[in-house]
Amino acid sequence: MSFANLRPAAGHRLCRNLRCKEMYYTSQEQMERWQADPVRALEGRSFWCLKTFTALGPESEPCDAAKCNPERGCYEG
């Protein structure tokens, strides 16, 4: 499953460049929670951007499931 296709309750898909460690190992229960509301399920995790390989995106703003949304210029849905 592509994490970029997960759509939180707010409506936007997770940015395809957003990553956290939990995305690389999953259980069926985790996948069900992510599908229901990925922003809430991934709350409090440490994220990084695949464009910068740091916790900050190309705009020097922090990365996370809620902040990496279509309003950012670097967002890729």
Q: Are 51 and 62 in contact (CB under 8 A)?
A: no
Per the structure block, which two tokens stand in for 54? 């740091």
pLDDT bin (cut points 50, 70, 90) of residue 2 is low
Short-list 65, 55, 56, CA closest to 33? 65
Q: What global pTM score does this model have?
A: 0.74
Nearest Cα neighbor of 46 from 56, 38, 34, 55 is 55
Of residues 19 and 31, which shows the higher confidence score? 19
Q: What share of the chain is helix, strand, coil (3-state, %, to 5)?
A: 25, 10, 65
Q: Is the pLDDT of residue 1 over 80?
A: no
Q: What is the mean predicted confidence (pLDDT) over 9-19? A: 78
